[in-house]
Amino acid sequence: MNAKGNIPVYSLQSFSAPERISQQYQVEVFDAKRHFQVEYPHRHDFFEVLFLQKGSGFHVIDANRYAIEPPCVFFMSPGQAHKLELSHDISGFIYIFTPEFYLLNYNNQNRLIEFPFFYTVHQDNPPMLLKSNADVLFLEQLFLKSISEAEKKHFASLDLLRSLLDTILTFCAHLYPKNDKLMAIGKGHLLVKRFYQLVEQNIQKNLTVNQYADMLAVSANHLTQTIRLLTGKTSNEIIKSKQILEIKRFLVHSSLGVSEIAQLMGFADQSYFSKFFKRETGITPLLYRTSKL
């Protein structure tokens, strides 16, 4: 852990070779030889596409544990905490990138969250299973071509790299399981995704529904109605569940005391913080930490 016992947040540069430290992307082969000095669990401040073709293990993303059953693709959004448990024969490809890199030539700054696998409405990240050999081969060729371009020293290939990344994401979106309810509602789900994105970015500030609504330029009532329609939950319930998840992360994966976690999460009163956690989980913070040791 870091000096404060907090969950570390890694930027893209943490996973880049020294000669590529200023890049806003990294695409490469993913196997047992790909070692970085990182702690698990950790968070990213970038997007990730992990395409696995061989091996086994588990991928723990936030509170969910997913079995790795290649060929499959995992998608991660900034802010999520994750942990990989991999077999020695794991192999595939990984593309990590900042939103600035992908969105450079887009006027639509919501383009990334329009993909169904980033900031998912139901807040889950199951792997996308690939059932067609042709799809696996096509995706492999896209990654291989991306790696080939990334290894060139000139900058003229950056537009091609963005195009290849866009093709990877668009192709995966085409294969991704469709949610008929979201498709029927239309653009309403983007408001929910933008809300999730803001909550992820501001979860330690203990903001209210009204504050999030102001940031989204909508009324609190409209925000809550849209969220309830798509998720069956209210805005407050989403915020509380995110707060509890964040608190659990600190209790399990850090050495911070309860009072320190309360302060970090924007609670002025430790007593209220403990009551809040117990009301939502049925157990005190200390008992929860002890149960996970």
Q: What is the pLDDT along the chain (293 residues), one digit of tens a residue?
A: 343 446 666 677 666 555 554 578 999 999 977 655 566 667 788 999 999 999 999 998 877 889 999 999 999 998 887 888 999 999 999 999 999 999 988 877 778 988 989 988 777 889 999 999 999 999 999 999 999 998 886 665 888 999 999 999 999 999 998 766 555 455 677 888 899 889 988 988 889 999 999 999 999 999 999 988 888 889 999 999 889 988 988 888 788 899 999 999 999 889 999 999 999 999 999 999 988 76
Topology classification of domain 188-291: Arc Repressor Mutant, subunit A (1.10.10)
Is 9-177 assigned to CATH 2.60.120.280? Answer: yes
Question: To which residue do tokens 């915020």 refer?
Answer: 239
Cα–Cα distance for residue pair 113/175, rounded to 1 Å? 17
Contact 7, 93 (CB under 8 A): no
Closest to 145 in 3D by CA, of 159, 160, 155: 160
167 contact partners, CB below 8 Å, separation of at least 6:
142
Please tell me the predicted confidence (pLDDT) of residue 261: 94
196 contact partners, CB below 8 Å, separation of at least 6:
119, 121, 123, 238
Cα–Cα distance for residue pair 246/47, rounded to 1 Å? 19
Report pTM. 0.75
Contact 50, 28 (CB under 8 A): no
Q: Which two tokens stand for residue 186?
A: 């239309």
**Domain locations in the chain as residue ranges:** 9-177, 188-291
CA 62, 65, 68, 72 dihedral sign is: negative
Cα–Cα distance for residue pair 181/184, rounded to 1 Å? 5
CA 27, 31, 34, 35 dihedral sign is: positive
